[in-house]
Structure 1
Amino acid sequence: MHRISRESEELAAWLIGPGRLSGDAVTVTSGLAQWLTGMDVPLHRLRIAMRVDNPLVTAWGIVWTPEKAAEIFSISRALLDTPAYIGSPAQQVIQKGTWLRQRLDHLGPEDHTVLRELAREGFTDYIAVPIAFGNGITQAAMFATRHGRGFADSHATLIKDLSVPLSAALEPIAMRRSTASLLATFLGEGPAARVQAGAIRRGDIVETEAAILLTDMRGFTPLSLSSSPFQLLTTLGRYFEVVVDAVRAEEGDVLKFMGDGVLSAFEVTDTGRAAACAAAVCAASQAVARARAEGLPPFVGALHVGPVMYGNIGSINRLDFTVVGLAVNVVSRLEAIAKANGQTLVCSGSFASDLPATIVRNIGQFELKGLGGKHDVFAITANQESQA
């Protein structure tokens, strides 16, 4: 007992010190599991779930078993409304903030599905403890064993007593992940990464080259006049989802929603301009195809590639992470040309030069306000049809 007490103090110190400072949930989880098994605790499964502020993913966590390294998983928000979560031990611990223990070798049909599934996998004992954070949110850590006699009472007490130091180790990690999730939700993956890396001051701007995509719903004004506010927002939401999914699938960044418009950027990397332009075209084409398939109002898109300034602009106390530069002005002009000429997707001459000649068609020369002279504008014809 003295040895277990001494080692438990060392484990608690490791969680609060090196474990917490690692900043890595996998390190904390794996380290905790290794400490416990080294103390002869018959641990065969450790699963920790933590909430995250994200409109699509409600939680993430880590699962460890002796057979393979700890893995991070995510839980969709929809799962909260299913029997897999309702009434589960995790829900009980999270809502009540108290620990629970359940032997698994004599379960009945009234016991939760989670417990019965563990029993079928050969687990004999289960302990769940609350992981309480300073913001009032409670998470859950679940321990399971396949040992024939289950956990000893001393092991159960040890696991229960580790709740506080484990909370201390995981809270800063969970808070950083939640912050990252929120930033990515509101700024996009690329801008979020830059902000987290320290680009938080006004004027923290980098010059880069990017393919710019601007999409805009056709007939939005008549739609807004003929639809109820709920119908209009529902349609906009579906339209935005179509565009955002397509852009993210091609590793682009959605930078801004402007009324019914979406501004996105595909940064030119080591793979070259042609790759960035191809990704932008693929995203735009996929968005158009999905919108048609779902019966959404048609929309137009404009594309250009060139130098941009990417970063924080605004006032002293109100910043926006966005992209500015000539390329953004060009796509705005091109989008108006697409609408006026019944085209679905158009691009500039410089953008067209990075595409196969077989998928573009010159639709004429047009004045681009503020740029002087007339400029060739191209329709992107691959998998597209002109719309009047």
Structure 2
Amino acid sequence: MVTVPMALARILGVLALGLAALLGQARADAPIRVTDLAGREVVLARPAGRIVLGAWVSLDALSLIHPDPVGLLAGWADGGANGIQPAILRAKFPAIDHVPVVGRGTLDSISAEAIIARRPDLVVASTFDVQRFGSGPAALPPVLARLEAAGIPVVVVDFFLEPLAHTEPSLRILGRLIGRETEAEAFIGFYRGRLDRIAGRLAGARPAPRSLFLHAFAARPDCCFTAGPGSVDGLIRAAGGGNVGAERLTAPIGQVSVEFLLARNPDVYVATGVGAPSGFALGPGVTANRATEGFAGLLRRPELSALGAVSGRRAHGLWHLFVHTPAHIVAVELLAKWLHPELFADIDPRATLDEINSRFLAAPLTGTFWVD
């Protein structure tokens, strides 16, 4: 047996520690590289600390993996899901009221000059904004191409158009670019486990098909906006339902006639709502009593009260902004219970939302987000 003198052992130990430190430093100094959902390579020298969010990128995704998502914002495009964020985050992050607005609800409204003046490390854009330009490094819309020409990296993600296919890769991309990979993987594991539970049970039981009509922004007087292929359609299918709107529409959202709805007479009716000064409302700050009363009033409308799903007590309300956030796993669980109550009686969407609030979200979602 060969023994190593104590002094030599100490020297070897110090050298090993030094080598490990050098390797760790080399990894820390290496550029961060990702391939975004447009197929483009995005490279950062270090994790982004100043971010601009585009018009169709909700702050919810960052809120799931970073303890101070508002502190990351160098600017954002107001409107869409981001129009709701101040109500959710203001109590914990009052600085949200002072985030510079660089545009409104569409990509065309975004000012490249305003973004360049903010000197962000990264601009996060949505597939919804860039899809009509194709994919690849030369396919960015002009405003985003100008940013890249000015040396500001742009990454394309998606939590809206194809949420089931794109939520996990988009979270991984963001986690890597802001140095929160561990947190991103933790939520992805939680999310994937719940989706797999529903998929496995549906595959094993093979329940009879049931149709669902999603009445988007149901408080509007003009009926009936609904979901076509893409976006919410994927959530409905994951829950074991057939999306009635996709039988007529070719876009992710559009309008069908009252006559079509009544003739189709779906098995399940789901109205989506957001916060509103009166009538049907769901979301942050909405009380259960207000949601229940508003929903009852909605169902008294003649075009809705005639539905078999209403008279048969298979009518439900859902917060519309679930479609913009990875927390849509709660919506999938709800849809599964509403479509197949006998198969998913033990699944508790309230417990799922509570766990998202306690384990992941920087500021919890509090209010009323669904109603029966």
TM-score for both structures, normalised by structure 1 = 0.27
Structure number with larger C-alpha Rg? 1
Q: Which has the higher strand share?
A: 1
Higher relative contact order at CA 8 Å, sep ≥6: structure 1 or structure 2? 2
Pick the structure with more helix per residue: 2
